Structure 1
Amino acid sequence: MAVPKKRPSHARTYRRKRANEKRSLVTIGVCPTCESPVLPHHACPSCGYYKGQEVIPVLAEKEKEKKKKEKRA
């Protein structure tokens, strides 16, 4: 029976084991309302819409922040 003459190095073993583990590319969609990049199955971070409905009230939060800044100044 054949026996290896030398022990394979750690780098060689690691490279062989990781040969088929490739990182997959992240698919990025486009928001239909504001046309900004969006991850699939996520609400749009800029407008707060998901599947045509407003899920996150982003504009209301921005208005509150503006009012707070005006009060401070």
Structure 2
Amino acid sequence: MAVPKRKMSRSNTRHRRAQWRASTPQLTPCPCPRKEMVVPHRACPHCGLYRGRQVVEQP
């Protein structure tokens, strides 16, 4: 098992952690007439459409 030979400095640790930032999700317009923005490969929470067919029952 690999074990670090020396303690990592604060500067190096913080420099590495700076890359952990969260990215905003990519959004695409829903094909329904309302054109709501939705996350790709998910059913639209507004109309229930996924790839052109109804997959979620809307009340």
TM-score range for the pair, normalised by the shorter chain length: 0.5 to 0.7
Task: Give the structure, 1 or 2, with the largest relative contact order (CA under 8 Å, sep 6 or more).
Answer: 2
Q: Please state which structure has a larger fraction of its residues in helix.
A: 1
Amino acid at match of 2:41: H
Amino acid at match of 1:40: P
Return 5+ residue gaps in structure 2 as ranges: 1-6
1:29 aligns with 2:28: yes
Aligned pairs for 1:49-68 within 5 A = 49-58=49-58, 62=59
Change (3 A) 1:55 1:8: closer
Larger radius of gyration: 1
Return 5+ residue gaps in structure 1 as ranges: 1-6, 63-73
TM-score normalised by the chain length of structure 2: 0.67
Amino acid at match of 2:14: R
- Identity, in percent, stands at 35
CA RMSD of aligned residues (A): 2.2
Name the structure 1 match of 2:12: 13
